[in-house]
Amino acid sequence: MDGGTLTAALVTLALWTYLYKDNPIFRLAEHLFVAFSTAWWVGELYRNYVKPVVLEDILQQGRWGMVLALLLGVILYARFVPAISWLARYPMSWMLGYGAGYVLAFQVKPLVGQITGSFLKFGSINSVLLWICIVSALVYFFFTISRENVAVSSVATFGKWVILVALGAAFGNTVLFRYTLLMGRVEFMLRDVLKVAQ
């Protein structure tokens, strides 16, 4: 058995010990997992973001506008220096503004597609049922229309059940998928580690 397979097997077993209870072996695996992930991402982010911006964009291609972006990134660390920690609020405000703007720009168009997709021509029972489900689920999410109105309340309740049925189907689907993940790990242990299965 090569070192990689052995390590994978040991870490898998260490993580499975959590099924009994929290213990030092699980903690070791947990900390290794977190540490390796963090180290990998530091390298990855440096290679994909910091290095291309500093070495290629700024120093080689002379795109000096990127200095502003770099500066905003550096200012984020000002929060570790109490005297100038207020400076870090500027890049944070920038990020929040960017986030909100991005949402405004890109979230509306898919919504329009969903609306026009709901203009169903009733040619079958399925299309009628689908349309009723869409509309009633939408009514469930009305926050300002009183539920004391029997008609609204009935449609919203039906909408709630539609949502629950959909969630139940999704739940079963995902649980099955999780079983396949578990089977993959068990297969690895039996075939690659213990060599008791083909």
Residue 164 binds another protein, judged by CB under 8 A: yes
In the complex with another protein, the residue whose CB is nearer, 144 or 198, is 144
Length of the chain: 198
Residue 76 one-letter amino acid? L
Using only C-alpha atoms, the chain has a radius of gyration, in whole angstroms, of: 27
In a 10 Å sphere around its CB, with 0-12 CB exposed, 13-18 middle and 19+ buried, how is residue 156 labelled? buried
Helices vs strands, H then E, count in the chain: 7, 0
Q: Work out how close the CB of 187 gets to another protein at its nearest, in angstroms, rounded to a whole number.
A: 19
Q: Work out how close the CB of 109 gets to another protein at its nearest, in angstroms, rounded to a whole number.
A: 4
Residue 20 binds another protein, judged by CB under 8 A: no
Among 2, 3, 83, 116, binds another protein (CB under 8 A): 116
Among 5, 38, 48, 126, binds another protein (CB under 8 A): 38
Q: Which stretch binds another protein (CB under 8 A): 52-60, 64-72, 84-92, 184-192?
A: 84-92
Q: What angle do CA 81, 82, 84 make, to 5 degrees?
A: 75
Residue 61 near residue 80 (C-beta atoms within 8 A):
no
Query: How is residue 180 written in tokens?
Result: 């396949």
Tell me the DSSP string of 149-198: SHHHHHHHHHHHHHHHHHHHHHHHHHHHHHHHHHHHHHHIIIIIIS----
Q: Work out how close the CB of 115 gets to another protein at its nearest, in angstroms, rounded to a whole number.
A: 6
Instruction: Report the site for another protein in 46-75 (rule: CB under 8 A).
Output: none
How far is 28 from 7, CA to CA, in rounded Å?
Answer: 13
Residue 158 binds another protein, judged by CB under 8 A: no
Residue 143 binds another protein, judged by CB under 8 A: yes
Residue 76 binds another protein, judged by CB under 8 A: yes
Q: Which residues bind another protein (CB under 8 A)?
A: 15, 18, 22, 27, 29-30, 33-34, 36-38, 40-41, 76, 79, 88-89, 92, 95-96, 98-100, 102-104, 107-109, 111-112, 115-116, 118-122, 131, 134-135, 138-139, 141-147, 163-164, 166-168, 170-171, 174, 178
